[in-house]
Amino acid sequence: MSNDEQRQARHQRAMEKLKSHVDERVANASEERGQLLILTGNGKGKTTSAWGTVTRALGYGYGVGVIQFIKGEWECGERQRLQDDPNLQVATMGTGFTWETQKRETDREACEAVWQHASRLLNDPNIYLVVLDEITYMLKFGYLDIESVKTALQNRPVEQSVIVTGRNAHRELMAMADTITEMQETRHAFNNGLKARRGLDY
Ligand code: ATP
Ligand code: MG
């Protein structure tokens, strides 16, 4: 056998092994139901990833609900692009950034109002995907209590998936999740004085 043939034979053996391993794992993953995903950590990409999945679900004509818990007054390119889709509902907290308003009581009321909307979506079997964007901060600030959120998630329709985004996700939410991705900040432009950019950061 030439060197090339030996290499080819080795490659084929490795691929066969890999294929049987992957096939076995695919065969084991047979349960079908909605899932709870958490996108957390300090690195960039949590909200972007959630909107990517929203686009994916809308692409199949599924009903999708997005609740934005913190950036109400901020522009958002994805929202602008997708808001005319009749299968998408978006609700945003009116007051914008908590550390901008610094009015605890007004923020708490705004959070409660938008949570009502989230609760409706979490009860609606026509909604295939719900995004609770930046909800982790609402739990951290004590504007929402973990028990209400847990109950709403546990009682949601079986086929419904939920994506939670935000830093420092609550331990009890983490315990419930099917998938957790921790975005790790290796570097962020902001720390080198680069301003948040339209179409890139929002
Ligand atoms: P994105 O919306 O870009 O996916 P994110 O949801 O992961 O970011 P957030 O913590 O919600 O991150 O960030 C809100 C804003 O701050 C966004 O404009 C984002 O681009 C920016 N940002 C994200 N990560 C960092 C970071 N590590 N340092 C500074 N700014 C950040
Ligand atoms: Mg975000």
| Per-residue pLDDT tens over the stretch 34-68 | 999 999 999 999 999 999 999 999 999 999 999 99
How much is the pLDDT for 86?
A: 98
> What is the spatial distance between Cα 22 and Cα 121, in angstroms, rounded to a whole number?
36
Q: Is 0.85 topped by the overall pTM?
A: yes
| Per-residue pLDDT tens over the stretch 174-185 | 999 999 999 999
Instruction: Check pocket membership of 196 for ligand 1, CB cut-off 6 A.
Output: yes
Is residue 72 predicted with pLDDT exceeding 90? no
| Per-residue pLDDT tens over the stretch 11-38 | 999 999 999 999 888 888 888 999 999 9
> What is the spatial distance between Cα 200 and Cα 202, in angstroms, rounded to a whole number?
6
Spatial CB neighbours of 176, under 8 Å, sequence gap ≥ 6: 36, 150, 153, 154
Instruction: Check pocket membership of 79 for ligand 1, CB cut-off 6 A.
Output: no
How much is the pLDDT for 71?
A: 60
Instruction: Check pocket membership of 73 for ligand 1, CB cut-off 6 A.
Output: no
How much is the pLDDT for 106?
A: 84
Tally of CA atoms within 13 A in the half-sphere of 65 that contains its CB: 23
Q: Ligand 1, closest atom to CA 50?
A: 4
In a mutational test of the pocket of ligand 1, which residue from 47, 99, 186 has the highest number of ligand atoms less than 8 Å from its CB? Answer: 47
CB-count exposure of residue 198 (10 Å: 0-12, 13-18, 19+): exposed
Spatial CB neighbours of 163, under 8 Å, sequence gap ≥ 6: 37, 38, 39, 50, 53, 129, 130, 131, 132
* CA–centroid distance, residue 154 to ligand 1 (Å): 29
Residues whose Cβ atom is located within 5 A of ion ligand 2 = 46-47
Is residue 97 predicted with pLDDT exceeding 60? no
* CA–centroid distance, residue 70 to ligand 1 (Å): 12
Is residue 100 predicted with pLDDT exceeding 60? no
* CB of 72 closer than 8 Å to CB of 93: yes
How much is the pLDDT for 99?
A: 58
Residue 181, strand partner residues: 39
| Per-residue pLDDT tens over the stretch 140-178 | 999 999 999 999 999 999 999 999 999 999 999 999 999
- Residues taking part in catalysis: 42, 44, 46-48, 56, 97, 99, 134
